[in-house]
Structure 1
């Protein structure tokens, strides 16, 4: 196949599908049944093999009572068998609910209780605790050990044979016919101040999000998309896996991210596209260069935020020519991005996203003040997004749904600015604004500047109570090696940020708390009084006492 097709031409290589996940897979199989679609730990699945195996597993689900609309939970690291569960669930018209196996018992119990799955597929390591947690439920789901459908087998044929035995041979059965608007996936948000919310997406949303990623990254059928992000994260499931299916390409995944062998993995598997988050990119940029394998073939990276330094390192040292920064949320996949063909603006989340099959607008963006009025170019306001792939609703949460989704627009809770060229720049989460002496200060902006200090690995700024009312700024820092004297951090900030923004307090920690999607949990820092108690106070030149 050609390797320089335009996004619409890529989609036109395949028969028209019905805007559902099963029809998308069937469309791509029809053109290239023997082409690779998934690589995992030495196993390579073709489009025909993964379609057949997921069809057998769908049969097994139906025979065990799974019906259209039922929820199928997954508690497992990334694997090829996990994606078989996803595809089989879609073929049944059920709803896939991936969960983070790293959750505590209490966190996992909440999601299991809230989502009420009829079946939970789980890796062996988590079976006992899933059984223990759900055993107390009024309606106990049945458990599907992933080993029973071949997770531990060595090759594709062995896994398929095991699933065939599991499905049984009792003659043909009819599978439900999923429709484009049927719920298909629930992605649980991290939850920063309260309980996680279940974001419900339809079959069509998933398919169109994958096709939009073809546009975003100019994916080709020959591409191999490497993801080390988990399937309970929208980036991996919707962009990498959905994008690979939409392009008729292949995806490479691993159970967990290993920075030390990332470049070797890329070289061995022939990866050409790599999805990252900022934390992952910064980790790689700071790893020993002895781990870098120059024989890798990655030419395109998607993620964000991408700093000027990260851009320099990946382009000049890692020889990756194209890095595309974008913006999205679980509720609004891929809302905007820097155009693939440019121009690119470093530090910008780009323009409204496009879709190969839409001649006109696909995504609309507005920037508004607290009263809902649009603000002038260059001024900060909340970003509102209108997209045809906005989430259907929050699972069993009409109040939160009404608050966030109004008249077709999604309230992101993020502050942005739009420039004269129509490019948007992220400023801060609404909850990440520090109110100091009448001024609104972006915590994200300060995090970025402080992280550029050569002695700092990671930074998080938070507001702490001030004797004068409102807040003072505290910088919580992870040093690279020996912590620099706090006074030098304050001196370094001079000239790099306005005097109003320079942190009053500086404190060092060994690590920052993160969500599963690698965002810093600043609310946890605010709940830790010991930080302020031992922080350097530049106004007193001595450790501050708790207020």
Structure 2
């Protein structure tokens, strides 16, 4: 157990930070304007050497609102976003919130098939994207009657419409529209479920802001904070913690288009960033990079990541000179519930303990460890983690059955097995669900099985998570070929690359004669673990794509 070495006497408390601004009604627009009044000339977002002040952002949001209304967007309409990090995402979030429209971000690395599912399921009216995924967006939406337009953020489309930023400039600012309310849905984040395809997690403007303000407490953010955002803005961590946290404390968001391990420390030093959120695999890569890439003039004083081990803790403390590393736990459905406390003891390897909102009048999250019968288990016993929190999602979009199945007596069931100790710290044990945790993403094994299993020479296949040297998991795929075929692991890998985004490509592929089944003839994946023997027999398609 350890405690961060910080002189708290020189810092504002999280509640003092929030009370620098006028109270708001938990609509994003009123929250933003409470900060705009005292901060109008200060830097809100810095991106590739350019500064967007709070007033610049407000002015662009007025243009974006007018542009969306001209496109016929109304409250409740969904807008697709398939883009790398860019200030336009910040503006779009504010503009959609004012109208009451809903942002649906999507991984720009997704293949057209994956994007098509999300955009069709969400029923998006149009898609805004970076130049690189434009062709995939067009393919994904070509047969969608609702998605009538696709617009790139930065560059003109060849033979098509001008870029989003140019189109905004052609509009007359709308300063009066205020349709979005605290309980209006502001975003739908698609996350892989236990079976089948991703589920759309709906969050209200209220839950977004409660999470953002709670992050001020989790990381003791100060008014002059400079948060470097290297995680993608289609991910709850970047959207709610980095962007939301920067707005909540009145600091500056240092927006990095894409994570690069080789330039990470140079970017940190050049931007004078004070805080950054990373995932464990990225932290492990940074720890293995050549020493000459490290820039000792960086100002990062705190880092938010999970999970954390002793080697990484020592490396970031002693070699990289980052004083405070905060280990945490979160899900898209219940952001900001558990974290090691910034003020107080840390327990390495834990999910942390309850992480409340700075305002004591806001209800604290609650957690339970439940047995299969739904009763709470005593300290030390392993059971399913169940949660009640003010930041809870509104439900899964167009999926009331799955929404209902995710609750028991008012408690959200995480599907994660954990235990609680005498100090009310939680420790992760394993997952009940068919989820593979890779590079900070929850990947549905069922989706991989469906995509690769469609190959005509494959009888059946099963993907499981196996331990990774970078932390979290790698994907192992066991394949049963159809009789009389000569399919190889190389053929399977090539097929995966055609039908799945890179983060879902299996690292290990092993050909087997059969797979274990349950009495109902479902593949019994739990019988494939531990997978040491399968891994020894597998072809290892080790990728260096995250090393650059």
TM-score range, shorter chain: 0.7 to 0.9
The C-alpha deviation readout for 1:348-390, integer Å capped at 9, x for no partner, is: 1111111011257510000011111211211111000100110
Counterpart of 2:32 (choices 25, 28, 39) is 25
Counterpart of 1:84 (choices 83, 88, 91) is 91
Residue equivalent to 1:147:
154
Residue equivalent to 1:474:
none
Deviation, structure 1 residue 52: 1.2
The C-alpha deviation readout for 1:12-47, integer Å capped at 9, x for no partner, is: 001112201111111111111111111111111111
State the alpha-carbon separation in 2 of the partners of residues 433 and 197 from structure 1.
Answer: 13
Q: Which runs of 5+ in 2 are unaligned?
A: 1-8, 158-162, 437-463, 480-492, 516-529, 540-548
Deviation, structure 1 residue 54: 1.2
State the alpha-carbon separation in 1 of the partners of residues 185 and 117 from structure 2.
Answer: 21
Change (3 A) 1:86 1:528: farther
Q: Does 1:397 align with 2:404?
A: no
Residue equivalent to 2:457:
none
CA contact (8 A) 1:149 1:166 kept: no
Residue equivalent to 1:355:
357
CA contact (8 A) 2:43 2:54 kept: yes
Deviation, structure 1 residue 544: 9.5
CA contact (8 A) 1:148 1:166 kept: no
State the alpha-carbon separation in 2 of the partners of residues 360 and 93 from structure 1.
Answer: 24
Residue equivalent to 1:292:
294
Which of 364-373 and 128-137 deviates more?
128-137
SS in 2 for 1:81: helix
Q: Does 1:374 align with 2:376?
A: yes
Q: Does 1:107 align with 2:131?
A: no
CA contact (8 A) 2:79 2:127 kept: yes
Change (3 A) 1:380 1:163: same
Q: Does 1:427 align with 2:429?
A: yes
- Pairwise mapping of residues 536-547 of structure 1 onto structure 2 (< 5 A)? none
The C-alpha deviation readout for 1:433-459, integer Å capped at 9, x for no partner, is: 99xxxxxxxx99x83xx84xxxx8886
Q: Does 1:327 align with 2:323?
A: no
State the alpha-carbon separation in 1 of the partners of residues 114 and 357 from structure 2.
Answer: 36
Deviation, structure 1 residue 59: 1.4
CA contact (8 A) 1:93 1:182 kept: yes
CA contact (8 A) 2:130 2:154 kept: yes
Residue equivalent to 2:143:
136
- Pairwise mapping of residues 221-370 of structure 1 onto structure 2 (< 5 A)? 221-359=223-361, 361-370=363-372
TM-score with structure 1 setting the length: 0.78
State the alpha-carbon separation in 2 of the partners of residues 421 and 462 from structure 1.
Answer: 37
CA contact (8 A) 2:98 2:179 kept: yes
Change (3 A) 1:539 1:387: closer
CA contact (8 A) 2:80 2:127 kept: yes
State the alpha-carbon separation in 2 of the partners of residues 72 and 16 from structure 1.
Answer: 29
Residue equivalent to 1:529:
511
Q: Which has the higher contact order (CA 8 A, sep 6+)?
A: 2
CA contact (8 A) 2:194 2:433 kept: no
CA contact (8 A) 2:228 2:276 kept: yes
CA contact (8 A) 1:347 1:425 kept: yes
SS in 2 for 1:402: helix
Q: Does 1:412 align with 2:414?
A: yes
Counterpart of 1:72 (choices 72, 79, 85) is 79
CA contact (8 A) 2:336 2:391 kept: no
State the alpha-carbon separation in 2 of the partners of residues 194 and 55 from structure 1.
Answer: 40
Counterpart of 1:167 (choices 171, 185, 188) is 171
Q: Which runs of 5+ in 1 are unaligned?
A: 151-158, 435-442, 466-508
Counterpart of 1:47 (choices 34, 51, 54) is 54
Deviation, structure 1 residue 79: 0.6
State the alpha-carbon separation in 2 of the partners of residues 61 and 367 from structure 1.
Answer: 45
The C-alpha deviation readout for 1:324-352, integer Å capped at 9, x for no partner, is: 11111000001100110120000011111
Change (3 A) 1:203 1:359: closer
CA contact (8 A) 1:62 1:175 kept: no
